[in-house]
């Protein structure tokens, strides 16, 4: 069920972006509406079926509150795409430094996706009300916000836009955290590599002890027939 849902999320995001940015009329608008409703139906069916086939329903319900939010709030639906990024990361499993590589790939993907969705949502909420009047401006604003730079040349003024902005700021804090933590893990490991010779020396010592004892046993074995 993973791939159909990811596909539904991609389609939803595409239709949502077309509706907001291009404001199509006539047939294209109807098509977009159909895609939005159809993909939403996919998420609802997936949620209901999984809830139905599980045994401890309340426990499942509490642990899948995010899934419920994805069904209820259209904005969160593309979050499903972040799972898709994990799948992509699995392909690169053969290369070393896997965990960090995966974290980096996931971070880049999640940041791009977050910036895109936040720009869409804010553009939708602010157009005609605040200063954010074109989609490129919304993307620029999203980058200025997620990096916590905050020039103040554009800022949301509607409640919806501000809620999206707060989410984006929290994403920015998380972004700084992930970048720093990955670098810290790398530096700590590199420094530890230089001190690891001591540890392997100890292992060699234990191995030396074992061979000494093997010799001992041989010596005692030679004692036995004589006595």
Is position 197 an interface residue for its own copies (rule: CB under 8 A)?
no
Sign, CA torsion 61/67/72/73: positive
Nearest to 168 by CA among 101, 77, 75, 105: 75
Is position 184 an interface residue for its own copies (rule: CB under 8 A)?
yes
Question: What is the Cα–Cα distance from 154 to 53, expressed in whole angstroms?
Answer: 48
Residue span binding its own copies (CB under 8 A) among the ranges 27-35, 47-55, 73-81, 165-173: 165-173
Nearest to 10 by CA among 108, 83, 68: 83
Is position 203 an interface residue for its own copies (rule: CB under 8 A)?
yes
Is position 40 an interface residue for its own copies (rule: CB under 8 A)?
no
Question: What is the Cα–Cα distance from 73 to 44, expressed in whole angstroms?
Answer: 11
Question: Do 168 and 137 form a contact (C-beta atoms < 8 A)?
Answer: no
Is position 198 an interface residue for its own copies (rule: CB under 8 A)?
yes
Is position 21 an interface residue for its own copies (rule: CB under 8 A)?
no
Is position 178 an interface residue for its own copies (rule: CB under 8 A)?
yes
Binding track over 102-141 against its own copies, x by CB under 8 A: -x--------------------------------x---x-
Residue span binding its own copies (CB under 8 A) among the ranges 12-20, 44-52, 73-81, 177-185: 177-185
Is position 212 an interface residue for its own copies (rule: CB under 8 A)?
yes
Is position 149 an interface residue for its own copies (rule: CB under 8 A)?
yes
Burial class (CB in 10 A: 0-12, 13-18, 19+), 170: exposed
Is position 95 an interface residue for its own copies (rule: CB under 8 A)?
no
Question: What is the Cα–Cα distance from 224 to 221, expressed in whole angstroms?
Answer: 5
Question: What is the Cα–Cα distance from 177 to 56, expressed in whole angstroms?
Answer: 35
Q: Tokens 């939708």, residue? A: 124
Instruction: Give the residue, chosen from 99, 126, 128, 134, that forms a contact with its own copies under the rule CB under 8 A.
Output: 99
Minimum distance of its own copies from residue 82's CB (angstroms): 16
Nearest to 116 by CA among 141, 153, 148, 87: 141
Is position 227 an interface residue for its own copies (rule: CB under 8 A)?
yes
> Rule CB under 8 A: which residues touch its own copies?
99-100, 103, 136, 140, 143-145, 147-153, 155, 159, 162, 165-166, 169-170, 172-191, 194, 198-199, 201-203, 205-210, 212-217, 219-224, 226-227
């Amino acid at each position: 069920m993973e791939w159909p849902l990811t596909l539904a999320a991609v389609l939803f995001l595409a239709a949502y972006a077309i509706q907001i940015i291009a404001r199509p009329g006539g047939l294209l608008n109807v098509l977009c509406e159909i895609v939005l409703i159809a993909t939403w139906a996919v998420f609802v069916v997936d949620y209901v079926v999984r809830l139905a086939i599980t045994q401890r329903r309340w426990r499942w319900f509490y642990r899948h509150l995010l899934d419920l939010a994805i069904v209820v709030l259209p904005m969160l639906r593309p979050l499903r795409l972040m799972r898709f990024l994990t799948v992509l990361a699995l392909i690169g499993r053969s290369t070393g430094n896997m965990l960090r590589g995966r974290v980096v790939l996931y971070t880049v993907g999640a940041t791009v996706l977050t910036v895109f969705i936040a720009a869409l949502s804010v553009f939708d909420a602010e157009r005609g009300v605040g200063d954010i009047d074109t989609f490129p401006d919304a993307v620029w604003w999203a980058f200025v916000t997620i990096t916590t730079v905050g020039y103040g040349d554009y800022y949301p003024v509607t409640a919806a836009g501000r809620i999206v902005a707060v989410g984006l700021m929290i994403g920015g804090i998380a972004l700084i955290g992930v970048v720093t933590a990955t670098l810290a893990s790398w530096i700590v490991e590199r420094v530890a590599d230089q001190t690891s010779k001591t540890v392997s020396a100890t292992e060699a010592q234990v191995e030396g002890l074992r061979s000494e004892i093997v010799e001992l046993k041989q010596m005692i074995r030679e004692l036995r027939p004589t006595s």
